[in-house]
Structure 1
Amino acid sequence: MIAHKRARLIGAAVLAAAVVGGVAACSSSGSGSSGSAGGSYTFWDPYPQFDASSDWTKLVEQCGTDAGVTVKRTGYDTSDLTNKALLAGQQGSSPDLLLVDNPVVSTLADAGILTSTSENKLDTADIQKNILAAGVLDGKTYGVPIGANTLALYYNKTVLKAAGVDIATVKDWSSLTDALGKVTAAGKKGITFSAIGTEEGSFQFLPWFWGSGANLKQLDSDKAVQSLALWTDWVKKGYAPNSVINNTQTTSWQEFATGDFAFGENGTWQLGNVKKAGIDYGILTVPGIDGGDAAAPTGGEFMTLPVQKDTARYATSKKIAECLTSTKNFVKTDTTLSYIAPTEAAQKEQVAANPELKPWVDAVAAAKGRTSDDLGTDYPKISQQLWGAVQNALSGSQTPQAALKAAQSAAEAATK
């Protein structure tokens, strides 16, 4: 069993509790039950929107039944789930299975809460390496991704056609900016995205940041400045609305759904909504500065097995996890969650059932984990400085260069 890093764990739990103003102690129903068939196993996930009648809950329960046990599932909001997981780990009362947002994996692993796949024997051989990378810390993998989503550019064919823009010509930043100029000159709106001062803002900025060739370990590089200058110039020229500063991904989507914008940066999860909006749309991967596909960040959750006092429980937890991450259930679950499956076999089944997913499979193949590049638990600290720099530059309070220089200094101090 993985060794507990008690001091680090307690510190992380206290910090988490402070962030949310205090979190109630968690029950120990998972760790105290017998590991034999017919027992009860606990499972926490970040899907409070799914009740007992949902397909997701039924699948979780069925996987428990197949393993000969009863699974008690609880859904929490993402931030609440992280805090509860940290405190439960501190108290030795972690759930048997824990599904968490991929950037959280390294935090929980570093705190000593999770077993590695070398310990719990979960198979990751068929998982795409770029998707799996988000769950790697210090050379060890802590879980299996149940799927991934990422960002791309939705485009409105009607708006582009009216402005005389051929989407085939949009291949890099320069040609995209030219297209935005033509669209706004024709009386329509250019592009909308989320630049809010939260993780959503960093998430949406990263394709452009990475697309410039910049690295999160050096926020004030010349390449990084180019990426922030791109967004800043778009806002100054009216190619992107001032509202992006406060836009969440949801409000940004609502702007694109009006039908007035040529482009909207958003994720796989909006496929159903774009059809409801009645927009004649297409999907374009975010271009790199000089062409090619920029790496967008991977979203999605990892199935993890937390440390238990009773190590005999791992065998059954593994069976439940394997059921939920089988090819059959990857397809069923990821289609329901608007995720792209993390294995080639499951992706092929998804595309065969819905060819509109093909551009998203390509986008996920080019995507990158936010905690990659050996950032691990440093990522949240760096991200906070990055979204702050974006806010300061777009609001005009600092130049892109000054904003990123200050961000780099703050990130260095935070990650020492």
Structure 2
Amino acid sequence: MRKPRRTLITAIAALGALTSVAACGGGSDSAGSGSGSTGGTYTFWDPYPQFDASSAWGKLVAKCGTDAGVTVKRTAYDTTDLGNKALLAAQQGNAPDVMLVDNPVVSTLVEAGILNKTSDLGLDTASIQKNIIGAGTIDGASYGVPIGANTLALYYNKKVLSAAKVDPASVKDWASLTAALKKVRAAGKKGITFSAINTEEGSFQFLPWFWGAGGDLTKLNSAKGVAALTLWKDWVDEGYAPKDVLQNTQTTSWQEFATGEYAFGENGTWQLGNAEKAGFGYGVLSIPAQNGGSAPVPTGGEFVTVPVQKDTGRYDVSKKIVTCLTNSANLLATDTTLAYVAPTAAVQSEQVKADPALKPWIDAVASARGRTSGGLGTKYPVISQPMWTAVQSAVSGAKSPQEALDTAQSAAGKGTS
């Protein structure tokens, strides 16, 4: 068994593939004050700097602390910083009491030995959808409670498709989607926009096509993986997708779609609010698999976790805070605010009653996969980085799709061996 410090250093290196490495200050007062069931201050970290203390989310966090008989000191970090700060804080012995983290980071934190099992804390996850809890499950044990999930689909512009005489219902596989893009271009409009940037966002957006071809993340350079990468390259080469997909984040890709000039935009649940403000009629389609049907899509979203503490007497209150944040009433309220699909069928049903437009997203989440699921765990970041690098190489024309994925598989193999 590796020594704890070595484990943390290894985990930090792995996490660097998922998030940008940021310098960490000299620690925090995460241990707070007070121990046991009542009183004191408990620390809570989340990746929502856009929500201040006066927001619905900020108020809920504070209320959950009050209900548990304590004061919650909340600190919000950018998603790219939170994982590394968590690892470094644990190394320094001052991890927060409760922490909300992006789901692919959970396995890295578990490998570092800094998260408690939900079963050890007595947290009930029985009602959580299996594929959603799976993103935070390692060796059969879950290490957090998902607060919600999001994923990807294809937004489409009704006016653009109508002008090109394309029926959205005709888009059932890659061939019919490509045929639709050809018609759109012939009608003088733009085809599809997505993010192929050289970060985890690029991998996240590529996965539906990779999985939709039957690709296996442990065999990046299979014929199925090559087919997916060839599809994207051909779209750019034919002018069906813009060359700036290589620099597009999911945000800038959305901004392109929101101009009203594109027929399709691959993006997520979190853009629903912006879609309503776009000023044109839109619809949502599942991303098609190569030969028909819906492609598996990756689950996004965060898990509420309880880091390991020297003072185990703090866990009872931490459990109360987690339970409060993830009860059905609060999931319904916060997932609406965060544009998430709830992780339980009961709350999903209430969401659809309130907003029927969520139905295709709930269907997509139901068939989604965790990026670290299937036993990949901390191997995923080591695979993802070569994969997004291959996308960049092939789409830019620097290498053929086969050559790019051969290089990626070689790098991933060395990193996971």
Aligned residue in 2 for 1:87: 88
Letter of the 1:109 counterpart: V
1:405 counterpart = 2:406: yes
Which segments of structure 1 move beyond 2 Å, counting only runs of 4 or more? 3-7, 10-22, 28-33
| 1:288–1:294 Cα contact (<8 Å) kept | yes
Letter of the 2:355 counterpart: N
C-alpha distance in 2, partners of 1:16/1:224?
24
TM superposition shift of 1:29 = 3.3
C-alpha distance in 2, partners of 1:36/1:116?
20
Q: Deviations over 1:340-379 (max 9, x none)?
A: 0000011011111111111110111111111012110111
Aligned residue in 2 for 1:122: 123
| 1:16–1:86 Cα contact (<8 Å) kept | no
SS of the aligned residue for 2:125 comes to coil
Q: Deviations over 1:207-249 (max 9, x none)?
A: 0000001010100001000000000111111111111111111
Figure out how many residues of one structure are paired with residues of the other and give that number. 414
TM superposition shift of 1:16 = 6.7
| 1:163–1:182 Cα contact (<8 Å) kept | yes
TM superposition shift of 1:312 = 1.2
C-alpha distance in 2, partners of 1:184/1:35?
65
1:208 counterpart = 2:209: yes
TM superposition shift of 1:93 = 1.0
Letter of the 2:339 counterpart: S
Aligned residue in 1 for 2:337: 336
Matches within 5 A, 1:192-341: 192-341=193-342
Letter of the 2:57 counterpart: W
TM superposition shift of 1:15 = 7.7
TM superposition shift of 1:21 = 5.5
C-alpha distance in 2, partners of 1:166/1:16?
43
SS of the aligned residue for 2:361 comes to helix
SS of the aligned residue for 1:20 comes to coil
| 1:31–1:310 Cα contact (<8 Å) kept | no
Aligned residue in 2 for 1:155: 156
Compare 334-343 and 20-29 and name the one that shifted more. 20-29
Gaps of 5+ in 1: none
Aligned residue in 2 for 1:373: 374
C-alpha distance in 2, partners of 1:196/1:129?
30
| 1:25–1:87 Cα contact (<8 Å) kept | no
Aligned residue in 1 for 2:34: 33
| 1:61–1:71 Cα contact (<8 Å) kept | yes
C-alpha distance in 2, partners of 1:48/1:286?
30
Q: Deviations over 1:321-352 (max 9, x none)?
A: 00100010001011000100000011011111
C-alpha RMSD of the superposition: 1.6
C-alpha distance in 2, partners of 1:16/1:412?
17
| 1:297–1:368 Cα contact (<8 Å) kept | yes
User: Identity of paired residues, percent?
Assistant: 67
TM superposition shift of 1:147 = 0.1
Change in 2 beyond 3 A, CA 1:29/1:360: same
Change in 2 beyond 3 A, CA 1:32/1:412: farther
1:72 counterpart = 2:76: no
Aligned residue in 2 for 1:12: 11
| 2:151–2:298 Cα contact (<8 Å) kept | yes
C-alpha distance in 1, partners of 2:37/2:131?
36
| 1:31–1:308 Cα contact (<8 Å) kept | no
Change in 2 beyond 3 A, CA 1:14/1:247: closer
Q: Deviations over 1:70-117 (max 9, x none)?
A: 111110111211111001111221111010000000000110000011
C-alpha distance in 2, partners of 1:20/1:166?
45
TM superposition shift of 1:138 = 2.1
| 1:13–1:90 Cα contact (<8 Å) kept | no
C-alpha distance in 1, partners of 2:22/2:354?
45
C-alpha distance in 2, partners of 1:336/1:11?
36
